[in-house]
Amino acid sequence: MAGSFGVIGCGYVGSAAAHHFRHLGLEVTGTTTSPSRLQELCDLVDHPRIYRAGDSCSDASFLDSLDGLLIAMAPTSVSMEEDQYRAVYGTGVTSLVEAIKSRQSERPLHVSYLSSAGVYGNQLGAVCDESTPTDRSNTANALLADAEEAVLSLNGFGTSTCVLRLGGIYGPNKDIASFIRSASGHMVPKNGSHINAWVHLRDIVQGIDFAYQQRLHGVFNLVDDLQVSRRDLSNLLCDDEGLAPVIWENHDRSDARIFNARVSNEKLKQLGFQPSVRSMLDPVAAI
């Protein structure tokens, strides 16, 4: 496969995607905001760059030579810190979108943007698909939804653009199943009745590849097939190894960001995409 592909944000997912596309024979440009990671990128991509979206001193000219682009930007903190969310999903994404619109090249570009299925918020466990309104009652979700809209505005500017809403990520070095089992017999201060969405790293990378090959545009849920509550999932995982169940709270905390929805992946499936890992209960999930 010939072509040039860029990855904005070479973290856990971005690095896996960069490795995948370089393996396919594409010329890959990868970015990081951290100078300390530049040497690491030298072993991962053809063209490593320091790029800080929103920084007027950052050179975005590399966008001119790309055929495909993955935007995998994320806050550096694992906790929900509003300032970081605003810096990434507000200032950062908006600035990157303007940079893409200002490209000096007329070369067609496909853009995939990684978002979160968490934007659906609390659907009381109901099935939701891409037509379900996002939850703007929560600041983080509102910022994520605004970022999605900004990226989708690129359609019509010489680009075809899609948003991939990811479930919670598991895979190599993210063994969520073992983490859940480690809570066997202990109280976890989260509502066990809530239903979360999940996706394996392998299927995220394959989904990004599928989106690029098919030149998808619009919004797509990129999640696996599992649609059970935290409690039911932990019971299945613990029962499988004869462990005591995890003890979950049955109520919501007032300051909690709630995600409770059965997220449908049918839209992507109807286009021919199939998750290779159906759930973290799948024997191949740990690979």
Domain annotation covers residue 257: no
Q: What pLDDT, on a 0 to 100 scale, did the predictor assign at position 78?
A: 56
Domain annotation covers residue 124: yes
Domain annotation covers residue 141: yes
Domain annotation covers residue 8: yes
Percent of the chain with pLDDT over 70: 97
- pTM summary value: 0.95
Number of domains, the chain: 1
Range of the domain at 34: 4-174+197-225+266-282
CATH of the domain at 50: 3.40.50.720
Which residue stretches of the chain are H helix? 12-23, 38-42, 82-85, 93-101, 139-152, 176-181, 201-214, 230-239, 266-270
pLDDT digits (tens, 9 = 90+) for 72-117: 998 876 555 778 889 899 999 999 999 999 999 888 999 999 999 9
Answer for the pair 68, 22: CB distance below 8 angstroms, yes or no: no
Answer for the pair 22, 46: CB distance below 8 angstroms, yes or no: yes
Q: How far apart are CA 77 and CA 74, in angstroms?
A: 9
Confidence of residue 21 (pLDDT cuts 50, 70, 90): very high
Domain annotation covers residue 234: no
User: Six-digit token pair at 188?
Assistant: 């976890």
Percent of the chain with pLDDT over 90: 80
Domain annotation covers residue 86: yes
Question: Does position 54 have pLDDT exceeding 90, yes or no?
Answer: no
pLDDT digits (tens, 9 = 90+) for 61-81: 999 999 999 999 988 765 557
Domain annotation covers residue 208: yes
Q: What is the mean pLDDT of residues 40-56?
A: 91
Confidence of residue 199 (pLDDT cuts 50, 70, 90): very high
